[in-house]
């Protein structure tokens, strides 16, 4: 941020008099606002796409009344949610009840900071990127439990309890499934991880095809992440047909909207991580986007990244509209008896592979033969 501020100050002479800290702050705010707008737009359009996908799969049409093809449906929904009465149940813990949705939203939004959107397009390329994402998304748990507890509703409490158990359990396989990418890149920074998958090997430079273990790792991550974002088949915290709506059952209006946006934010973060760690992030297959002059490289890589991320989001929705829901004990069993051991075995496999083949993946090995 400071570097960007310095660059700006040197480029625009009128800004030369502004103190560095103020300029840095300004840049931070602008970047944050851009990310926020992106998150909100994604939440809105994501809800539209989700419903459209649901409609298509369920031989229906989906939203088609507001705007062309119902594209403005999310605006109508947003306006509705804002206009709605904000109800706080009489016996709720008012402070926690009011705080919870923001905590959940902050938890999912904060992860956007390290999402590598493109060449140089990252709010902050933390050297602990992956770790940071894991840490801040865990904040969601506290918000959800808070919401469940403060609602003073038994269904909400059950939902909150389920959410905590679920997210805490699935944190481990998610982390373990991401580690192979970290091992290959030798860095926790997401930009470094993306860079490590470049090269003219095209899609074979991706970690997905690095070795068989990373291939499985991707699917393990996808499964575990689906659970971490409370998507069907792991949507137990808000299991519509069991817990009515789970932890957010008492929420209405704008507070509900925050839960809603957080859910879509989580979805995007998961998809972004998957694409950055396994699908080559912003790399365009068979092309070096970073060599393009000016902003074109940035834009092209941004496009490539978004296409990959949205593709994963679409698959998540597809899964969501296909599968039934697990039971809570099966969910735990799946994490501890299947995902955790498998991810550990995978991690071991990747480590051994890297040791044996000196960090080279199958494509590189094949390429080195010729």
Partner 1 sequence: MNGDGMGLREYINDIVEAVVTTAKGMRITARYGVDAKEEVTQQYPEVRREPEERFRGFLRNDIARCTSCTMCVKVCPVDCISLESVRGADKKMVLVSYDINIGRCMYCGLCVEVCPPKSLTHTAGYEMAMFERGEMVLHFVQEEGGEIKARVAKQVAEAAAKAAEAAKAAEAAKAAEAAKPAEAAKPVGLPAANPAPKEDLSAEAPGGSKADPEKKA
Partner 2 sequence: MTRPTEALHTQEMLINMGPQHPSTHGVLRVLLRTDGEVVVNARPDIGYLHRGLEKIGERVTYAQFMPFTDRLDYLAGMNCNCAWAWAVEKLAGIEVPERAEYIRVIVSELNRISSHLIAFGSFTADMGAFTPFLYSIREREVVNDLFEMVCGNRLTYNYARVGGVSADLPQGFLEKTKEFLDYFEPKIDEYNNLISYNKIFVHRLANVAVISAKDAVGYGLTGPNLRGSGVKFDLRKDEPYSVYPKLEFDVCVGTGERGALGDCFDRYMVRINEMRQSIRILRQAVAQIPEGPVMAKVPRLFKPAAGEVYFRSECPRGETGFYIISDGTTNPSRLKIRTGSFVTMNIFETVTKGLMIADIVAVIGSFDIILPEIDR
The binding site for partner 1 (CB under 8 A) comprises 53, 55-61, 318-319, 321-323, 330, 333-334, 337-338
Contact between 328 and partner 2 per CB under 8 A: yes
CA-derived radius of gyration, the chain: 22
Contact between 41 and partner 2 per CB under 8 A: no
Within 8 A by CB and 6+ apart from 97, the residues are 88, 89, 147, 150, 151, 250
Q: Which is nearer to partner 1, 31 or 323 (CB)?
A: 323
Q: Which does 158 bind (CB under 5 to 8 A by kind): partner 1, partner 2, none?
A: partner 2
Q: Which is nearer to partner 1, 23 or 227 (CB)?
A: 227
Q: Which does 232 bind (CB under 5 to 8 A by kind): partner 1, partner 2, none?
A: partner 2
What are the angstrom distances between the C-alpha of 56 and each of 53, 224, 273, 321?
Answer: 5, 26, 27, 10
Contact between 161 and partner 2 per CB under 8 A: yes
Q: Which does 10 bind (CB under 5 to 8 A by kind): partner 2, partner 1, none?
A: none
Q: Which is nearer to partner 2, 9 or 326 (CB)?
A: 326
Q: Which does 319 bind (CB under 5 to 8 A by kind): partner 2, partner 1, none?
A: partner 1
Closest listed residue to residue 151, CA positions, set 247, 71, 294: 247
Distance in angstroms (rounded) separating the CA atoms of residues 51 and 58: 10
Contact between 235 and partner 2 per CB under 8 A: yes
Q: Which does 155 bind (CB under 5 to 8 A by kind): partner 1, partner 2, none?
A: partner 2
Q: Which is nearer to partner 2, 169 or 189 (CB)?
A: 169
Closest listed residue to residue 75, CA positions, set 52, 102, 54, 47: 47
Answer for the pair 196, 354: CB distance below 8 angstroms, yes or no: no
Q: Shortest gap between Cβ of 199 and partner 2 (angstroms)? A: 38
Contact between 85 and partner 2 per CB under 8 A: no
Among 185, 188, 225, 243, binds partner 2 (CB under 8 A): 243
Among 10, 41, 330, 352, binds partner 2 (CB under 8 A): 330
What one-character-per-residue DSSP string does 177-205 give?
A: HHHHHHHHHT-S-HHHHHHTT-STTGGGG
Q: Which is nearer to partner 2, 158 or 184 (CB)?
A: 158
Q: Shortest gap between Cβ of 29 and partner 2 (angstroms)? A: 41
Answer for the pair 272, 191: CB distance below 8 angstroms, yes or no: no
Distance in angstroms (rounded) separating the CA atoms of residues 320 and 225: 13
Distance in angstroms (rounded) separating the CA atoms of residues 367 and 370: 6
Contact between 323 and partner 2 per CB under 8 A: yes
Cα three-residue angle 100-102-104, rounded to 5 degrees: 70
Q: Which does 338 bind (CB under 5 to 8 A by kind): partner 1, partner 2, none?
A: partner 1
* Sign of the C-alpha dihedral computed for residues 110, 269, 345 and 164 taken in this order: positive
Beta bridge partners of 121: 118
Interacting residues toward partner 2 by CB under 8 A: 54, 57-60, 154-155, 158, 161-162, 232-233, 235-236, 239-244, 321-330
């Amino acid at each position: 941020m400071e570097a960007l501020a310095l660059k700006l100050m040197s480029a625009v002479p009128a800004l030369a008099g502004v103190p560095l800290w103020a300029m840095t702050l300004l840049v931070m705010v602008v970047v944050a606002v851009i990310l926020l707008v992106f998150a909100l737009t994604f939440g809105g359009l994501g809800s539209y796409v989700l419903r459209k996908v649901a409609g298509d799969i369920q031989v229906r049409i989906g939203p088609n009344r507001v705007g062309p093809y119902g594209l403005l449906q999310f605006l109508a929904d947003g306006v509705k949610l804002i206009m709605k009465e904000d109800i706080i149940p009489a016996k709720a813990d008012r402070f926690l009840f009011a705080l919870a949705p923001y905590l959940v939203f902050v938890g999912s939004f904060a992860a956007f900071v390290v999402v590598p959107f493109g060449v140089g397009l990252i709010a902050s390329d933390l050297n602990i990127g992956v770790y940071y994402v894991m840490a801040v998304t865990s904040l969601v748990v506290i918000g959800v439990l808070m919401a469940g507890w403060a609602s003073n509703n038994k269904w909400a409490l059950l939902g909150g309890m389920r959410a905590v158990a679920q997210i805490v359990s699935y944190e481990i396989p998610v982390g373990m499934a991401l580690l192979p990418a970290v091992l290959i890149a030798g860095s926790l920074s997401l930009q470094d991880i993306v860079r490590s998958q470049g090269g003219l090997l095209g899609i074979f430079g991706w970690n997905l095809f690095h070795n068989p273990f990373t291939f499985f790792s991707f699917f393990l991550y996808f499964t575990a992440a689906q659970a971490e974002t409370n998507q069907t088949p792991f949507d137990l915290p808000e299991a519509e047909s069991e817990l009515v709506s789970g932890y957010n059952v008492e929420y209405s209006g704008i507070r509900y909207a925050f839960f809603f946006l957080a859910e879509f934010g989580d979805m995007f973060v998961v998809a972004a991580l998957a694409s950055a760690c396994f699908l080559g992030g912003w790399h365009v297959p068979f092309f070096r986007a970073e060599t393009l002059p000016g902003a074109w490289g940035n834009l092209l890589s941004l496009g490539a990244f978004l296409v990959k991320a949205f593709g994963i989001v679409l698959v998540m929705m597809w899964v969501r509209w296909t599968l039934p829901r697990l039971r809570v004990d099966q969910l735990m069993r799946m994490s501890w008896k299947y995902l955790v051991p498998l991810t550990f075995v995978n991690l071991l496999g990747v480590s051994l592979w890297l040791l044996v083949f000196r960090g080279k993946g199958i494509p590189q090995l094949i390429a080195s033969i010729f």
